[in-house]
Amino acid sequence: MPATDDTPRAPRRRGAHPLARFLIRRILLALLLAWGITLVTFVLTNLVPGDPVAANLGQRALGDPAIVAQWRSQHGLDKPLWEQYLLHLQGVVHGDLGTSQQSHRPVSQDLAEFVPATLELAGAAILVSLVLGVAFGVIAALRRDRLADHALRVLSLIGISVPTFWLALVAFYVFFYRLQITPGSGRVDAALGSAPAVTGLQTVDALLAGRGDIFGSAVGHLITPALVLALYTIGLLTRFTRSAVLEVLGQDYVRAARAKGLPGRTILFRYVLRSALVPIITVAGLAFGSLLSGTVLVEAIFAWPGVGQYAYKSATTLDLPAVMGVGLVVGVVYLVINLIVDVLYGVIDPRVRLQ
Amino acid sequence: MKWDPLARKGLTGRLPEAWRQPLAVVGGVIAIVWLVVALAAPVLAPHDPLAQDLPRLAAPGPGHWFGTDQLGRDILSRVMHGARVSIPLTLMLVALSVLVGGLLGACAGYFGRWVDETIMRVADLVFAFPTVILAMVVAAALGASLTNAVLAVLVVAWPAYARVTRGLVLGVREREFVLSGRLLGFSAWRSLRVDVLPNVTGPVLVLATLDIGTALLLLSGLSFLGLGAKPPSPEWGAMVASGVEVFDSWWVATFPGLAILTVVLAFNFLGDTLRDALDPRTARAIKERAL
């Protein structure tokens, strides 16, 4: 996009490209927040009223002061709190998130197994949300105050009002148990086996292995949970797209394009959507957070072997290292996604990086 | 957005029109019905919500219109009594979030410098987590109870109010009537209370109305995860969770879920209308349409 006369020129400081400086600033900010996330999970772990020694050692070991002291020093519990935090940070940097009390395996190992399933589910859901949410929002804006607009308003408000965990249960009951039109729980029919793991995403792996049957089954298993998960974000994006498009429709350059006699379709796609998409992408990044939240409530119902179900099991059994590991990893994933969105935002809209 | 004392007349002037909107009326009626149910549940409910004296897992029918659960309790009575648990807690939760977030945000905006930096960086940190995940982590750390679930939701809910209040206070802080108050010798606290806060309450209250639904969803979600209400409390989220175990008896989970849905929907209908009426951008759009 060529700079017009009224756009401020980039101040040329230290010769760095404005986009590069923008990226560096965003990445530093993200690193700072990532550090903050480790601090939050550490503080919360130490808030726990329970004694970690009692939780981790057996009855007989607890009776022996020598074993207790050894366990405490082995886990750094005899050191001052700040030193414990440094140890914790060191562990996190090296991928050590503690041991799950439930699976008796390292939390990082558990999470590595479950993250791809959740990313596949949340990825499918954000795709559906973007397509449907933006389409509905554009329709509502173009048909403002007509029947379609009002209907979409009510529907999107219902979408953001439905408790996800309840909808998951209802969908499972109706479509699987009663109508038997969707496959049951899990990611793929067990009878088909599974494609060799390359990405950990069943659909992608099946395609890579050229197994159409597994791909079909994986998509079938994905549809219902992804739609249930997406309903909230569809509602959110519909509402947001509507107001973003309405805002752009009122701009002078759109009026000028219309006065010039450009066809409506050209105006919509080249002028309106292009500039409305910038804020929509930001909201989609934030909406990804509610999708990650939703997986905790949805995966448990559909027996989807992802981080959400792991979080649900850990929360209900009060398996604290696992819960904190989930908090840490999901927080960082969310951070990275929003970093990507921020960068996209800066790349698409030059005004942002000149601020 | 400029909120000065003179504009308050405009604020009240625009409201009645908003209330004539059908969505707001529907939302208002549903909300009032639920408030009545919450207040009068002991009189209205046909059974004791805790008594296990009916046949187990009976389908909806005469005598027990919403069916019974696996312990032989009447679900209709439990849903009605559940309103006494969920609705007051949610309202209290939102009020607390407004109070804590509003106060911190006002301080951040008014005093600026390190106060602003500290408060807003903590808020950023909360925003760095997906809400349910952070609330779940906090609730698990504090221990499973309904009070702790409320605290956990409070932890994730206050930053939104802090951010909005801070922005509004920043806009008002340098206005003449605030500066003249300071010149007259008002203390910072008095200036904040008398001159600044009345000018920011409107938008914050709209945000609060919009937030009631979200707060109820979060709170019942935590209970569904087993981190909130403890049995035998007739809390809606926990009731849905108990329906998971017997999901072929669909009525056990369906009715408490519908209760959550209708309450959240009512407040979202109200909040959405309120926002349209008070949002200057939408107001401008309406004006343009009239031209």
Q: What is the ipTM of this complex?
A: 0.83
- For an interface test with A, give the residue of B125, B132, B151, B248 to mutate (most A CBs within 10 A): B132
- What are the tens digits of pLDDT across the range A189-231? 777 777 777 777 888 888 788 787 888 888 888 889 999 999 9
**pTM for this one?**
0.84
Please give the helix or strand (H or E) that residue A233 lies within, else none.
helix A212-249
**What is the residue type of B9?**
K
Q: How far apart are CA B53 and CA B44, in angstroms?
A: 18
Question: What mean pLDDT is predicted for residues A153-165?
Answer: 92
Question: What mean pLDDT is predicted for residues B77-92?
Answer: 91
| Strands (DSSP E) found in B159-207 | none
Contact predicate A295/A310, CB 8 Å: no
Domain enclosing residue A156, as ranges: 18-241+280-353
Which band of pLDDT confidence, cut at 50, 70 and 90, is reported for residue A2? very low
Q: How far apart are CA B199 and CA A185, in angstroms?
A: 53
- Comparing CA positions, the residue from B225, B249, B251 lying closest to residue B238 is B225
Helices (H) and strands (E) in chain A, counts: 16, 0
Question: What mean pLDDT is predicted for residues B79-99?
Answer: 92
pLDDT for B7 beyond 70:
no
Q: How far apart are CA B93 and CA B154, in angstroms?
A: 7
Q: How far apart are CA A102 and CA A309, in angstroms?
A: 13
- What are the tens digits of pLDDT across the range A289-344? 888 888 888 888 888 888 888 888 887 777 778 888 888 888 888 888 888 887 87
DSSP tag of B227: S
pLDDT of B279: 60
- Bridge partners of A99, per DSSP, are A106
Percent of chain B scored above 90 by pLDDT? 26
Helix, coil or strand: residue B96: helix
Distance, C-alpha B242 to centroid of its chain: 24
What are the angstrom distances between the C-alpha of A103 and each of A97, A107, A167, A205, A313?
A: 14, 9, 29, 27, 10
Number of domain units in chain A:
1
- What are the tens digits of pLDDT across the range A100-110? 877 788 888 88
In a domain, A12, yes or no: no
Q: How far apart are CA B76 and CA B68, in angstroms?
A: 8
- Chain-chain contact of A157 with B23 (C-beta, under 8 angstroms): yes
Which band of pLDDT confidence, cut at 50, 70 and 90, is reported for residue B32? very high
Question: What mean pLDDT is predicted for residues B252-267?
Answer: 93
Of A37, A47, A314, the CB nearest to B128: A37
Distance, C-alpha A179 to centroid of its chain: 31
What are the angstrom distances between the C-alpha of A281 and each of A31, A181, A274, A341, B97?
A: 22, 34, 11, 7, 28
A344-348, B232-236, B244-248, range with the lowest pLDDT: A344-348
Which band of pLDDT confidence, cut at 50, 70 and 90, is reported for residue B257? very high
A232-241, A264-273, B34-43, B145-154, range with the lowest pLDDT: A264-273
What is the DSSP annotation of B131-171?
HHHHHHHHHHHH-SSHHHHHHHHHHHHHHHHHHHHHHHHHH
- For an interface test with B, give the residue of A165, A229, A332 to mutate (most B CBs within 10 A): A165
* In chain B, residues 57-86 whose CB comes closer than 8 Å to chain A: none
- What are the tens digits of pLDDT across the range B100-132? 999 999 888 888 888 888 888 888 888 888 888
Q: How many beta-carbon contacts under 8 Å exist across A and B? A: 154
Give the list of residues 6+ apart from residue A250 with CB closer than 8 angstroms, or none.
B285, B288
pLDDT for B228 beyond 90:
no
pLDDT of A14: 55
* In chain A, residues 15-44 whose CB comes closer than 8 Å to chain B: 33, 36-37, 40-41, 44
Output A5 or B56, whichever has higher pLDDT.
B56
Percent of chain A scored above 70 by pLDDT? 87
Helix, coil or strand: residue A106: strand
On average, the pLDDT of chain B sits at: 82
SS3 content of chain B, % helix, strand, coil (to 5): 75, 0, 25
- Comparing CA positions, the residue from B184, B225, B197, B234 lying closest to residue B103 is B197
Which band of pLDDT confidence, cut at 50, 70 and 90, is reported for residue B60? confident
Question: What mean pLDDT is predicted for residues A72-78?
Answer: 69
Contact predicate A248/A275, CB 8 Å: yes
pLDDT for B286 beyond 50:
no
Output A16 or A90, whichever has higher pLDDT.
A90
Q: How far apart are CA B186 and CA A85, in angstroms?
A: 45
- Chain-chain contact of A164 with B221 (C-beta, under 8 angstroms): yes
- Comparing CA positions, the residue from B180, B176, B57, B242 lying closest to residue A165 is B242
Question: What mean pLDDT is predicted for residues B196-218?
Answer: 84
Q: Which residues of A touch B220 (CB under 8 A)?
A: 163
What is the DSSP annotation of A107-156?
HHHHHHHHHHHHHHHHHHHHHHHHHHHHHHHHHHHHTTTSHHHHHHHHHH
- What are the tens digits of pLDDT across the range A17-50? 777 887 888 888 888 888 888 888 888 777 665 5
Half-sphere exposure of A225 (CA within 13 A, CB side): 35
Q: Which residues of B touch A293 (CB under 8 A)?
A: 130-133
pLDDT of A166: 93
Q: Which residues of A touch B221 (CB under 8 A)?
A: 163-165, 297
Which band of pLDDT confidence, cut at 50, 70 and 90, is reported for residue A353? low
Question: What mean pLDDT is predicted for residues B63-89?
Answer: 88
Residue-range domain boundaries for chain B: 19-47+67-285
Looking at 1.10.3720.10, 1.20.1050.10, 3.40.50.740, 2.60.40.10, the CATH number of the domain B19-47+67-285 comes to 1.10.3720.10
A251 contact B CB<8A: no
- Chain-chain contact of B220 with A163 (C-beta, under 8 angstroms): yes
Of A33, A164, A170, the CB nearest to B128: A33
Percent of chain B scored above 70 by pLDDT? 88
In a domain, A307, yes or no: yes
